[in-house]
């Protein structure tokens, strides 16, 4: 009997092309249509592992960890200076789902910087903010605002220790005036002290104390005060 040979069945060429196009493992620089470029590790055609991304539109660079196409893990984000073209670090720390999440340090364009915890790209948790006027706030944050317990230190040495809400002093707190040697302890509402007691504190060692010391408050027995009042005014009502 004659032997009939059939041609070996081959997959269509586009199957092979598609297989080769799927990026997996370490790759050299891959350029996107918009000009962005990425060098690093891939998994199932997604950035995954260690890698560096450069955005064509801004020139910004991210170098660090990726997870399924998003920045996730530890990494650093930098942008070029518009004048010198040298790269300035903007954020270094942890990322979650392409946003700042965890512990990290952010450098603002006006010279301020924040070192602390993040959640969904916002300052949340415990952190310290350095402001351009020289003051600092260290304490709790919630959705990018001081909220909870915290300490604000001003350039002149004054400081506030106490409760915060939505970025304002709110609740019980203490305001120290080291230069005068005084302390205001009371309750604040939206940055305004509503009630409290002002007392001298280390006034003798203060650089610029007030001219006269604050009188001390004497706490007396209410029964004794009532007895004195009755003895003084009792006859006049008869």
Q: 151: closest CA among 126, 132, 133? A: 126
Collapse the DSSP code of 180 into the 3-class scheme (helix H, G, I; strand E, B; otherwise coil) and give the result: coil
Contact 76, 92 (CB under 8 A): yes
What is d(CA 91, CA 222) in angstroms, rounded to the nearest whole number? 61
Q: Tens of pLDDT along the chain (238 residues)?
A: 566 655 666 666 544 544 555 566 666 778 788 899 999 999 988 999 999 999 999 999 999 999 999 999 999 999 999 889 899 999 999 999 999 999 999 999 999 999 999 999 999 999 999 999 999 999 999 999 999 999 999 999 999 999 999 999 999 999 999 988 899 999 999 999 999 898 888 777 777 777 666 666 665 565 664 566 556 555 444 4
In order of start, what are the domains of the chain with their CATH numbers?
21-107 (2.20.110)
The set of residues, in sequence order, having a beta carbon less than 8 Å from that of 75 and lying 6+ positions away, is 62, 63, 64, 65, 92, 93, 95
Dihedral angle of Cα 113, 117, 123, 127, to the nearest 10 degrees:
-60
């Amino acid at each position: 009997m004659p032997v009939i040979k059939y041609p070996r069945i081959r997959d269509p060429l586009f199957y092979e092309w598609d297989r080769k196009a799927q990026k997996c493992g370490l790759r050299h620089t891959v350029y996107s249509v918009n000009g962005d470029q990425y060098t690093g590790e891939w998994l199932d055609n997604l950035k995954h592992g260690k890698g560096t991304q450069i955005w064509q539109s801004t020139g910004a660079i991210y170098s660090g960890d990726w997870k399924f196409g998003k920045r996730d893990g530890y990494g650093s984000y930098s942008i070029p200076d518009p004048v010198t073209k040298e790269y300035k670090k903007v954020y270094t720390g942890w990322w979650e789902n392409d946003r700042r999440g965890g512990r990290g340090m952010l450098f603002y364009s006006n010279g301020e910087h924040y070192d602390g915890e993040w959640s969904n790209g916002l300052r949340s948790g415990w952190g310290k903010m350095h402001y351009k006027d020289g003051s600092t706030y260290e304490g709790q944050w919630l959705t990018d605002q001081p909220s909870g317990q915290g300490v604000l230190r001003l350039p002149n040495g004054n400081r506030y220790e106490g409760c915060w809400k939505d970025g304002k002093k709110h609740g019980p707190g203490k305001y120290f005036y080291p230069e005068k040697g005084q302390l205001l302890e009371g309750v604040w509402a939206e940055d305004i002290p509503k009630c409290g007691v002002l007392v001298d504190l280390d006034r003798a060692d203060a650089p610029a104390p007030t001219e006269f010391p604050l009188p001390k408050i004497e706490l007396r027995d209410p029964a004794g005060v009532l007895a004195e009042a009755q003895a003084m005014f009792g006859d006049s009502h008869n």
